[in-house]
Amino acid sequence: MAEGEGITYFLKPEERHKLGRLVLLSRYVVEGNLAGAHRSPLKGASSEFADHKSYTMGDDTKKIDWKVFGRTDRYYIKRYEDETNLRVYLIIDRSGSMGYGAGDVSKYKFACHLAAAIGFVVVRARDSVGLYLYSNKIDYKMTASNSINHLNNMLKGLQGFKATNTTLIADTLHQVAEDIRKRALIVIFSDLFDEPEKVNLALAHFRKENHDVIIFHTVDPTEIDLSFTKGCEFEDMETGESVICDPRTLAKDYQRIFQEFLEKYRSSCKAMNIDYRLVRTDQDVGTFVRAYLEERRRLSR
């Protein structure tokens, strides 16, 4: 990540140039936006109704819904597809385990970099982005808006946080699901190191609220294969407990157990129609985002 603040801290100029041409699509109807049908506001109003908003001074009186006025005695404006935008919420885990990184980049730093890239794509497409950062509670949040200035301020705030030593992933995701009142596209960045059964119930909470959900399951490569070549002392980054062992004697059983752990999330997300992706911290963020969004665009047709 480059020096600077906000966007310039998380994204290099060449990354911003490449990401600005991409679009993140929702697969469902999300508060007026049809999946795969983000239309430019420069093309004029669509004839397909999306939702209402309260009338404010300066709005076109021709768009007042008089039937609603007759029922409520209040003025509401009809909005159409081209006048609505997708709301995307980036949900980032900063638990202690996210502070781990066998190389130069921790899972938390990688997740923030990836979230910044997704957020940049969203606002460049004139959609809205918001943020929730959590550990054992919601630590920081910003409502969704669709300006570059908003994204820059959001990322400046994110810079002030590091991975902590506590977490309650499932409980806190339930809190986030309760807090987001309008349907949205939810993008979760986490290693999901909690009881899968409890976390999957929290993910189901988002789907119950009709949110479209993407999981970027963020892991360090060494967590997948335990690829250490000599004896190590392993310390739990949340409890401080440690154990000394030779990982080469444990690797085979460890890999089997870890794959079972991943499969619990893969299968559950598939059943809930949640877009699950395993992301390694040794991947190039720009390359990953481009490939992922292109695949999502093809599937949204």
pLDDT for the residue numbered 72: 82
pLDDT band at 191 (very low <50, low <70, confident <90, very high): very high
The backbone region for 124, taken as left when phi is positive above 0, alpha when psi lies in -120 to 50, beta otherwise, is alpha
**In percent, how much of the chain has pLDDT > 90?**
60
pLDDT for the residue numbered 50: 55
Q: Using one digit for the tens of pLDDT, what is the confidence trace for 63-90?
A: 888 888 888 888 888 765 444 578 999 9
For residue 265, pLDDT over 50 is answered with yes
CATH of 7-27+86-299, one of 3.90.550.10, 3.40.30.10, 3.40.50.1980, 3.40.50.410: 3.40.50.410
For residue 165, pLDDT over 80 is answered with no
pLDDT for the residue numbered 49: 58
For residue 1, pLDDT over 70 is answered with no
157 vs 251, higher pLDDT: 157
Domain parsing of the chain, residue ranges: 7-27+86-299, 41-83
For residue 230, pLDDT over 80 is answered with no
pLDDT band at 254 (very low <50, low <70, confident <90, very high): confident
Q: Using one digit for the tens of pLDDT, what is the confidence trace for 7-36?
A: 999 999 999 998 988 999 887 755 544 444
pLDDT for the residue numbered 63: 83
Average pLDDT for residues 145-171, to the nearest whole number?
A: 92
Average pLDDT for residues 269-279, to the nearest whole number?
A: 97
- Three-state SS across the chain? CCCCCCHHHHCCHHHHHHHCCCCCCCCCCECCECCCCCCCHHHCCCCCEEEEEECCCCCCHHHECHHHHHHHCCCEEEEEHHHCCCEEEEEEECCHHHHCCCCCCCHHHHHHHHHHHHHHHHHHCCCEEEEEEECCCEEEEEEEECCHHHHHHHHHHHHCCCCCCCCCHHHHHHHHHHHCCCCCEEEEEECCCCCHHHHHHHHHHHHHCCCEEEEEEEECHHHHHCCCCCCEEEECCCCCCEEEECHHHHHHHHHHHHHHHHHHHHHHHHHCCCEEEEEECCCCHHHHHHHHHHHHHHHCC
pLDDT for the residue numbered 36: 41
| Residue 284: burial class (beta carbons within 10 Å; 0-12, 13-18, 19+) | exposed
For residue 134, pLDDT over 90 is answered with yes
pLDDT for the residue numbered 120: 97
pLDDT for the residue numbered 223: 92
pLDDT for the residue numbered 138: 95
Average pLDDT for residues 201-212, to the nearest whole number?
A: 96
pLDDT for the residue numbered 43: 39
pLDDT for the residue numbered 29: 57
227 vs 262, higher pLDDT: 262
51 vs 252, higher pLDDT: 252
pLDDT band at 61 (very low <50, low <70, confident <90, very high): confident
User: Which has the minimum average pLDDT: 80-89, 139-148, 180-189?
Assistant: 80-89
pLDDT for the residue numbered 35: 45
Average model confidence (pLDDT) across the chain: 86
pLDDT band at 289 (very low <50, low <70, confident <90, very high): very high
